[in-house]
Chains A and B, each alone.
Chain A
């Protein structure tokens, strides 16, 4: 009996679901080479011409970058560059903080008994069981009320007033990332045999050395996957960012959303294509790293 045998119905369903998953992405990429300026329908690829740029109506007849016309335009778009920078800044900063404090919390919840432990554990599930928009408007209310009070109390005016911006977005991203980091690291710690730490202490290492030399390297994979999760959650986030960003802290998802309500050029597709390919390469590299690590053990 072949343990991997599968019913043909399952196989057909699988193929269809994969098509469903990938058709939109393929179309998205295809349209990023669209000659049509308005991107309403696909009008063929853009030919390459090295000398002159000639335009007729809504079509890009020829452009210096040829088929990659929209990618060239994208690289010249300052708004996109700024949004990309913001997105990465927010993702790195929020991941950095949430990994550190989340790992600490995971250690506390897995290793120690303390009064507020049941409450702490429960509160980690809040972001999972509450819709993001509820969190988003709650945080927005908090910031606007708090800033209103502080601005009034400190007599801040004009540009020195506290307002929504990169800081508020980062702080809010940490809030929804930390529970996930904590839960992932906690899951890793669950299978962690305490005798490794006891062995280190037994051999003369104090608590800090034990953590640095034994515990940390052993739970590092868990911390990394928690961090990766936090990073992708932050990159992907729309709702929380939508309610907590301010002038100058636009992220790529917010920028794209703004465009969708106006005129869409294939630049958006070019941006999406770059995004998809980046994700693809990142995930691929990660998988390769992981399988190499698995082979070593």
Chain B
């Protein structure tokens, strides 16, 4: 028995992988299939799922509404399309901003003296390892009307003898954007740093030797070689931003509703899991499409694991 297993490498491999694969099957793949099934179902009056094949949820997401003014039976209501669009554009804006902020820092760390590199990286890890919810809360303390930013601004205005009206920053789309950028910034810094650090120093010398100045070296050598890091970072930022509901919940109040909030409410407040599942599938399909096209163009770097 042992001898036969010893000689059957394929059986050994399968055996070793089995626990993980069972876990993935039971808690990733089956739930996704279940979501698909539920999304075609209908909600019963007491909030349960009636299994059937109905496209109602998807039609509703696309704007078909039975809740109309002036007594019409049906009308076009772009509410959910707006939510989807808001989520995509927020994720897009967040990603761009995060790249702009992360790149110089990653570049700085990658070209710091090796001894100090760890310290600088350590400083990036601390906020990352501070809890997600706590980080949103910190921004609440900063942004609210009586918060730290307004106190500082008021103090500065006072120095110049100006009259200062505290700014309304909390519960605005801007607050949500800042919160998202803050939450996901380290996820961009680390992969970019990793790919920058991998670049062989002699390439810079070669570029200089061939007559490229600092800017040309950056554009023609450094930037292209750090693209795997940017790609990995984008995936690590864009996808979670699309699905997060805490940031908009806390920093956006009821003003900024994203697809994540929509799904969460369907499961907890509105108790319509079928509609929530449909929204969730749409969200998943959107992120998969973005990831697919993005990685097809730029490749899927191993940097993703490093972070």
Residue B302 lies at the interface, judged by CB distance under 8 Å to chain A: yes
- Residues of chain B from 8 to 36 with CB closer than 8 A to chain A in the complex: 9-17, 19-21, 23-24, 26-32, 34-35
The residue from A13, A130, A232, A252 contacting B105, defined by CB atoms under 8 A apart: A13
Contact A27 B305 (CB under 8 A): no
Chain A residues near B111 (CB-CB < 8 A) = 3-4, 6
Residue of A nearest to B115 (CB): A291
Q: Which of B12, B140, B267 contacts A260 (CB 8 A)?
A: B140
Chain B contact residues: helix, strand, loop or mixed? helix
In the bound complex, do residue A24 and residue B138 qualify as a contact, i.e. CB atoms below 8 Å apart?
Answer: yes
Contact B277 A123 (CB under 8 A): no
- Is B233 an interface residue when CB atoms closer than 8 A count as contact? no
Q: Is A116 an interface residue (CB 8 A)?
A: yes
Q: Which of B60-68, B73-81, B117-125, B223-231 contacts A (4 or more CB under 8 A)?
A: B117-125
Question: Does B191 touch A at the CB level, under 8 Å?
Answer: no
Give the chain B neighbours of A207 by CB distance below 8 A. 6
Binary contact readout B255-299 vs A (1 if CB under 8 angstroms, 0 otherwise):
000001001100100000100110011011001100100000000
Q: Is the CB of A142 within 8 A of B146?
A: no
With an 8 A cutoff between CB atoms, is B137 at the interface?
A: yes
Question: Does A73 sit within 8 A of B, measured CB to CB?
Answer: no
A20/B133 contact (C-beta < 8 A), A113-B10, A132-B240, A133-B280 known: no
Q: Which of A21, A109, A275 has the most CB of B within 10 A?
A: A21
Is there an interface contact between A10 and B27, defined as CB atoms closer than 8 Å?
A: no
B137 CB contacts on chain A under 8 angstroms:
28, 256, 260, 264, 268, 272
Which listed residue, B11, B15, B35, B186, touches A137 by the CB 8 Å rule? B35
Q: B70 an interface residue at 8 Å Cβ cutoff?
A: no
Whether B24 lies near A179 (C-beta < 8 A) is yes
Segment among A45-53, A62-70, A152-160, A182-190 that sits at the interface with chain B: A182-190
- Does B160 have its Cβ within 8 Å of any Cβ on chain A? no
Q: Report whether B284 and A24 are in contact in the complex, using a CB–CB cutoff of 8 Å.
A: no
**Cβ-defined contact, A257 with B133, below 8 A:** yes
**Residue A60 at the B interface, CB < 8 A?**
no
Can you add 8 more A-B contacts, CB < 8 Å, to A105-B21, A115-B14, A279-B130?
A9-B104, A11-B108, A21-B123, A101-B23, A130-B287, A131-B284, A178-B20, A256-B134
Q: Give B contacts to A, CB under 8 Å.
A: 6, 9-17, 19-21, 23-24, 26-32, 34-35, 38, 49, 101-102, 104-105, 107-108, 111-113, 118, 122-127, 129-142, 144, 146-148, 151, 182, 185-186, 201, 204, 208, 214, 235-236, 239-240, 242-246, 250, 260, 263-264, 267, 273, 276-277, 280-281, 283-284, 287-288, 291, 302, 304-305
3 residue pairs, one from A and one from B, having the closest CB atoms: A131-B243, A112-B13, A138-B31
User: What are 12 A-B residue pairs whose CB atoms fall within 8 Å in the complex?
Assistant: A17-B104, A18-B105, A27-B141, A112-B9, A113-B10, A129-B291, A132-B243, A133-B243, A138-B35, A257-B250, A275-B130, A284-B122
